[in-house]
Amino acid sequence: MDSYLQILEKDFLNRNDIITLLSLNKEQAKNLFKKSEEIKLKYVGNKVYYRGLIEMSNICRKDCYYCGIRRSNKKVSRYELEDKQILDACEYCYKNDFGSIVLQGGERNDKIFVDRISNLLKEIKKLSNNELGVTLSLGEQTLETFKKWKEAGVHRYLLRIEESNRDLYKKLHPDNQIHSFDERLESLYYLKETGYQVGSGFMIGLPFQTVENLADDLIFLQNFDIDMVGMGPYIEHKDTPLYKYKAQLWSLEERLFMSFKMYAVLRIMMKDINIAATTALQTIDPMGRERVIRFAANVLMPNVTPAVVRKNYQLYENKPCTDEGADDCLDCLKSRLKLVNAEIGLNEWGDSKHYYNRNKTEDN
Ligand code: 5AD
Ligand code: FES
């Protein structure tokens, strides 16, 4: 078997290599992070692109066992931002040179919702002179809906597979049509077919999840030829069914360390994709996002949701910055990013290079 240092010199990592790298200890992992930093700088550079995150509603048709805003959680007070609040947040991003926004929310697919999003997309494009890039993260939809939204101006979509192992997926979701693994996968294929830049990802350190599962999750992203990734540590929420497995979980510290290794291995496997430094990292470590930006990630999603509703969008507990306005966060972000040598790619969409590279190859 190759030593981990030999593995780090390989062009292609096989499943055993990935498992070896994910099993490194803190001292050994320093070499992994160094390698991934080298690759990051070579292929995507030191720029980090902002996407202003707008959590438009916590009303959700789904009931995932891990999620704090699942429909059965009666303790959550449900909200829906008005169009004006959403457009104001977009305007804020535009004025602050963000380049892009992400519109995220609980999953809905009724006609009123679908039409409302189409309309919002047109308004966002109008208010920004067509300049703001838009990513949607609104769950599974039909091919028609994806096409409609694309025509209305969106060009990127995030849909986490959450866990790529079918059996484990089943343990994390109710056993019914609304939570079908196949339909989620199908949605990802629809997105690709429609020409979106497609993002996916999963949680790290879920109950029952093994290092082998995590290696397979990374391989899933590679096989799917994904353009963007959002992944982060699982953080238990006391008002969810999975909370009862709390005692079996890796410690928060271990989940964070495993997440760091996952980011690094992913960057080595998929050199030119966009990788987002996600909020869940920040929940465990205030510098969590910046630390992965140093060696792997190149996208950051500052939360620009109006502060009045932010505490109601708790997918997990202790979500950071839930009581601050957007401005507070911007200043501290800027200085923290400087600490990890990242330059902010202002006024740029910062699209996935991989998307263009894969389309180039497909055309030839
Ligand atoms: N811990 C971490 N991430 C979570 N998400 C949902 N619940 C949790 C949790 N308890 C993630 C899911 C979802 C994204 C919006 O938030 O991966 O896709
Ligand atoms: Fe599925 Fe929130 S209910 S992620």
Classify burial at 155, counting beta carbons within 10 Å of its beta carbon; exposed 0-12, middle 13-18, buried 19 or more.
Answer: middle
User: How far is ligand 2, taken at its centre, from the CA of residue 7, in Å?
Assistant: 37
- Domains, the chain, ordered by start: 3-363 (3.20.20.70)
The span from the CA of 301 to the CA of 50, in Å, is 6
- State which of 71, 158, 188, 203 you would mutate to test the pocket of ligand 1, scoring each by most atoms of that ligand within 8 A of its C-beta: 203
62 lines ligand 2 (CB under 6 A): yes
Count CB atoms within 10 A of the CB of residue 165.
21
Report the nearest-CA residue for atom 1 of ligand 2: 64
Three-class HEC string of 156-205: EEECCCECCCHHHHHHHCCCCHHHCHHHHHHHHHHHHHHCCEEEECEEEC
User: How far is ligand 1, taken at its centre, from the CA of residue 199, in Å?
Assistant: 15
pLDDT in tens, the chain (364 residues): 679 999 999 999 999 999 999 999 999 999 999 999 999 999 999 999 999 999 999 999 999 999 999 999 999 999 999 999 999 999 999 999 999 999 999 999 999 999 999 999 999 999 999 999 999 999 999 999 999 999 999 999 999 999 999 999 999 999 999 999 999 999 999 999 999 999 999 999 999 999 999 999 999 999 999 999 999 999 999 999 999 999 999 999 999 999 999 999 999 999 999 999 999 999 999 999 999 999 999 999 999 998 877 778 888 887 776 666 655 577 888 999 999 999 999 999 999 999 999 888 665 4
Closest CA to 250 of 265, 232, 234: 234
For the chain, the distance separating the N- and C-terminal CA atoms, rounded to the nearest angstrom, is 38
pTM given for the model: 0.96
Report the nearest-CA residue for atom 3 of ligand 2: 70
Three-class HEC string of 268-306: HHCCCCEEEECHHHHHHCCCHHHHHHHHCCCEECCECCC
The span from the CA of 111 to the CA of 278, in Å, is 30
User: How far is ligand 1, taken at its centre, from the CA of residue 107, in Å?
Assistant: 13
Count CB atoms within 10 A of the CB of residue 308.
12
The span from the CA of 115 to the CA of 126, in Å, is 17
